[in-house]
Amino acid sequence: MVPETHSSMNSMSAKPRITRHPDGISAVDAEYVHPGHAAVHIIRHNGRGAFVDTGTNYSVPYLLAALEDLGVARDAVDYVFLTHIHMDHAGGAGLLMRQLPNARCLVHPRGLPHMIDPSTVVAASQAVYGEENFLRLYGDVLPVARERIVSVPDGFRCELAGRELELIHTPGHALHHYAIVDRAHACIFTGDTFGISYRELDTPQGPFILPTTSPSQFDPDQLISSIDRLMSYAPESMYLMHYSRVTGTPRLAEMLKSQIREFVRIVRDCEASPDAHNAIRAAMLQLWLKLLQQQGSTVAADDVAKLLETDLELNSQGLLLWFARQRRSNLSDRLPGVR
C-alpha cells in the first residue's frame, strides 16, 4: 500500500500496524509496496525512544501514530538511526526529523552528504525505478539539517537512556551501511545486511531468508564478511527491515552465505546470455523455489514469484552491475573468490 499523499502529518488519521517484540522493541509497518514488506523499528527504554530507519515520506504518518500508541512523546525521541541511505530505509528521514525536535540523525560517513543534499541519491534511485514510479513510491525527499546529523564511525557507541548501542560498519549490500548491536539484549538491527525474510515464506524449519543484492554497491565478499562479523556477536535475534524479527541466526547466516555464492555462479553462467537480466531472474527464482521446497514450504510457485517480484528485479540489476565492475577492472577472467 502506498498512500496517495504525505501532505498531512496528522497521525490520528493513520492506523499503524504494530508488532510488539521483546525488550521494548516494536516493528511498525512502513506501508511500503504492500503490508508486511518493510518494517521501521522503534526502541523504547526508560521513557525515551529511537527509530531504526524511517521508510518513505508516506510512512511518516504511521510512524508518528505508532509513537502515540506506544506512549512515546515526539520530544522523547533521541535518535533516528539510518542503517543506510537507500530510499526505502531513509527516504522519509527529512520529513520525520521535522516532527522530532530533540532527535539526532545518525548516518554512515559515506551517506551523510546525501542526507544533507539528497539530489544525487534521488537521481540514482530514479535511474533504477523511473521518475514517475519513484515519485509514487517516495514522494519529494527532504534534506536533514546538517547540525542535526551525526557521522557514525565504525564501532561508534551511544546510549538510549542507559541502553548501550554499538554501531558497526557492514558493507556488502551498500558501502554506506551500518548495523546496530544491542549486546545486552543479544540482538542486532541489520538493515539489509542480513537479508530479507518475509513472514509469508516461513517454513516448518523456521524463517526463510534471502540476500538482497540490489544496485548499486553489492559486493559478495564484503557481504559475507559482514554477515560473519554480525554473527561474531552471537546474536539470538536479528531485526530486519524486510521483515522484522528472526531467530535461529546461525542457520540463517549459513543460508545467506550459500545463496550469495550461488548468485556469483548464476551471474557468471548467465552474463553472456542474449537476455542476461531475465536469465538471472529465472535462475534466482528457481533457486529460491528449490530451497523453499527443501524446507517444506507449501506456498505455490506463482505466489512465491509474485511476492518476490521486486527482489528478483533489483537483485538481478545489482548482480549485473557488480559483474560489470569486475569486467571494468579487467578481472572478468578471475572473479574474486567467494569464501
Q: In CATH, what number is assigned to the domain containing residue 129?
A: 3.60.15.10
> Grid coordinates in use for 202?
516461513
Question: What is the CA angle 44-19-89, rounded to 5?
Answer: 75
Same-domain pairing of 59 and 174: yes
Judge whether residue 213 has pLDDT over 70. yes
Q: What is the pLDDT of residue 125?
A: 83
> Which residue among 193, 221, 249 closes a domain?
249
Q: Taking the model in full, what pTM does it have?
A: 0.93
Residue 29: its pLDDT value, please? 98
Residue type, position 198, single letter? Y
Dump pLDDT digits (tens) for 238-262: 999 999 999 999 999 999 999 999 9
Residue 178 φ/ψ, nearest 5 degrees: -135, 165
Q: Look at residue 114 and tell me if it is in a domain.
A: yes
The amino acid occupying position 120 is T
Tell me what pLDDT residue 328 has. 85
User: Do residue 83 and residue 189 come from a single domain?
Assistant: yes
Do 236 and 269 fall within a single domain? no
Residue 106 CB neighbour total at 10 angstroms: 23
DSSP states along 231-297: HTT--SEEEETTTEEEE-HHHHHHHHHHHHHHHHHHHHHHTTSTTHHHHHHHHHHHHHHHHHHHTT-
> Do 84 and 178 fall within a single domain?
yes
Same structural domain, 63 and 182? yes
Tell me: do 116 and 135 sit in the same domain: yes
Average pLDDT estimate for 94-107: 98
Q: CB of 314 within 8 A of CB of 174? A: no
Asked if 97 and 150 sit in the same domain, the reply is yes
218 shares its domain with 283: no
d(C-alpha 267, C-alpha 83), whole Å: 27
What the block records as the C-alpha cell of 94 is: 527529512
* Mean of all residue pLDDT scores within the chain: 93
Specify whether the CB–CB gap between 188 and 182 falls below 8 A.
yes
Number of independent structural domains in the chain: 2
Which among 211, 193, 206 has a CA at the least distance from the CA of 294? 206
* Reported confidence tier of residue 171, pLDDT bands at 50, 70, 90: very high
For residue 178, is it within any domain?
yes
Does 229 share its domain with 87?
yes
Q: Residue 210's domain spans which residues? A: 12-249
Query: DSSP characters for 55-98?
Result: --GGGHHHHHHHHHHHT--GGGEEEEE-S---HHHHTTHHHHHT
Contact 305, 285 (CB under 8 A): yes
State the pLDDT at residue 4.
Answer: 37
Does 282 lie in the same domain as 192?
Answer: no
Which one of 215, 249, 283 terminates a domain? 249
Q: What is the pLDDT of residue 334?
A: 54
Residue 323 belongs to a domain: yes
- What average pLDDT does this structure show over 109-123? 95
Question: How much of the chain exceeds pLDDT 70, in percent?
Answer: 94
What number of residues does the chain have?
A: 339
pLDDT digits (tens, 9 = 90+) for 292-336: 999 999 999 999 999 999 999 999 999 999 999 988 885 545 555
Residue 336, pLDDT score: 55
Q: Which of 249, 274, 290 is the last residue of a domain?
A: 249
Kindly indicate the confidence band of residue 6, based on its pLDDT and cuts at 50, 70 and 90: very low
Q: Which pLDDT band holds residue 26 (cuts at 50, 70, 90)?
A: very high
For residues 17 and 77, membership in a common domain is answered with yes
Check residue 121 and give its pLDDT: 87
Q: Please write the tens of the pLDDT for every residue from 39-70.
A: 999 999 999 999 999 999 999 999 999 999 99
Q: Per residue in 227-236, pLDDT tens? A: 999 999 999 9
**H/E segment holding residue 126:** helix 119-129
23 within domain boundaries:
yes
Query: 50 and 77: one domain?
Result: yes
